Amino acid sequence: MAKILVLPGDGIGTEVTEVSVKILELLAEEKGIEIETENALFGGSSIDEHGVPVTKDVIEKAKNSDAVLLGAVGGTKWENLKHEIKPESGLLELRKQLDTYANLRPAVVYPALVDASTLKKEIVENVDIMVVRELTGGIYFGTPRGIDNLDDGEQKGVNTLHYKTSEIERVAKMAFEIAGKRNKKVTSIDKSNVLESMVLWRDTVTRVWKENYQDIELEHLYVDNAAMQLIRRPRSFDVMLAGNMFGDIISDEAAQLTGSLGMLPSASIGDKGAIYEPVHGSAPDIAGKDIANPIASVLSTAMMLKYSFNLDGISLEIENSIKTVLDKGFRTADIYEEGKTKVGCREMGELIINELKKNN
Ligand code: NAD
């Protein structure tokens, strides 16, 4: 039995998650997959009810689930609250409590949307990249940190980049495992020509590869070169592995190859749990209008089925249903172009579900 905690959150989070939940219900009813879902408040909606963005009870429920499906949090209503009780801090707390050390962000260019990219069609056609970013270590968490007042009246800003071998090993293993399910190549990104912490990164990734994963091709790139090659030869990448800060930047660059925010799923995986969520936020500008693109959420659900439940076949069926709907010319407003059929969030969901039903 797959136990899934559903946290729709705020704004369009609730709209896109509704579509994903319908898909999970379909899988349970018609494909015999044993799924148990439970809904809870999270983010702004939790602040309104409980005064905090995430309650201890919800954290416990998340820990006792096999996976969490999240919508998005935030909105103008909660913008001026103190940092600790803002909706977004609930997200950070959940990630911390589940120790989700690996962030997975696929960047896939769909044939039907190839013209939405800012790069030429010949460059981005068939791009299918998975960025694996270390999420709980590196310079974003390293100490000492802060802004010091110096005796001479100047100030000094300090951050510290450190990684332990165990932190590098576990995320490297994750990247190799994922590459094994894909096109069997890992590009590890570092700055080992300048930073000692990155010498350890490169040595550790190489050792993990030698010990267990020599069937996977391993390439090392300095981060500056990786940023260039990503827009020069994006098709040559399969899995890109990076530390927290470099991964933050590279995953956004990879996403930009594909076009719309409404198409980008993500997963944050750790030993205590996994969170699947669209990359986009709660989009207050379009919330409540039934015009959001639910595909990022549905693709996050497909990732959950693949990475948390090893249901690779069903995951692929969902991805193919989305491709078919796009090939037939249906578009939500964010990816709409002249000559196509504009549909809303719910209708896009129905179209995907109808394609999925055809595979029965
Ligand atoms: P956003 O991602 O919510 O929206 C950016 C733009 O993209 C908006 O114009 C929006 O209409 C559009 N957009 C986003 N998702 C879309 C979709 N599925 N379909 C169609 N259009 C879509 O980012 P923002 O406006 O900077 O932030 C709004 C709120 O969301 C803020 O409170 C922010 O803190 C929060 N946020 C939350 C998360 C999260 O929950 N993981 C991530 C980013 C931002």
Domains and CATH numbers, the chain: 1-101+270-360 (3.40.718.10), 108-254 (3.40.718.10)
Position 82 scores a pLDDT of 87
The answer to whether residue 354 scores a pLDDT higher than 80 is yes
Lowest mean pLDDT among 109-113, 203-207, 208-212: 109-113
133, 169, 244, 308 from 304: Cα distances, Å = 17, 23, 22, 5
Interval 133-145: pLDDT, tens: 999 999 998 999 9
Task: Pick the atom of ligand 1 nearest to 293's CA.
Answer: 19
**Angstrom distance (rounded) from CA 314 to CA 317:** 5
The answer to whether residue 271 scores a pLDDT higher than 90 is no
Residue 92 contacts by C-beta under 8 Å, 6 or more apart in sequence?
none
The mean pLDDT of the chain is 95
Lowest mean pLDDT among 87-101, 146-160, 281-295: 87-101
Amino acid at 235: R
Position 261 scores a pLDDT of 87
> From atom 11 of ligand 1, which residue's Cα is the shortest distance away?
283
The answer to whether residue 277 scores a pLDDT higher than 90 is yes
Percent of the chain, pLDDT > 90? 91
Annotation says 238 is catalytic: no
N- to C-terminal Cα separation, the chain: 21
> What would the two tokens of residue 294 be?
């639910």
Which of 280, 343, 346 for mutating ligand 1's site (highest number of atoms within 8 Å of CB)? 280
Out of 66, 128, 203, 252, which one is annotated catalytic?
Answer: 252
The answer to whether residue 238 scores a pLDDT higher than 70 is yes
Percent of the chain, pLDDT > 70? 100
Q: What is the DSSP letter of 150?
A: P
Instruction: Tally Cβ neighbours within 10 Å of residue 29.
Output: 10
The answer to whether residue 359 scores a pLDDT higher than 90 is no
DSSP states of 256-318:
HTT--GGG-EEEEE-SS-EEEEESS---TTTTTTT-S--HHHHHHHHHHHHHTT--HHHHHHH
Position 236 scores a pLDDT of 97
The answer to whether residue 45 scores a pLDDT higher than 90 is yes
Residues with CB under 6 A from ligand 1: 12, 16, 72-75, 88, 91, 261-262, 277, 280-286, 292-293, 296, 334
Position 282 scores a pLDDT of 97
CB 247 within 8 A of CB 268: no
> From atom 23 of ligand 1, which residue's Cα is the shortest distance away?
281
Annotation says 140 is catalytic: yes
Which of 89, 261, 263, 332 for mutating ligand 1's site (highest number of atoms within 8 Å of CB)? 261
**Angstrom distance (rounded) from CA 67 to CA 230:** 31
Interval 290-336: pLDDT, tens: 999 999 999 999 999 999 999 999 999 999 999 999 999 999 999 99
The answer to whether residue 360 scores a pLDDT higher than 80 is no
Position 201 scores a pLDDT of 98
φ/ψ bin of 332: left (φ > 0), alpha (ψ from -120 to 50), beta (otherwise): beta
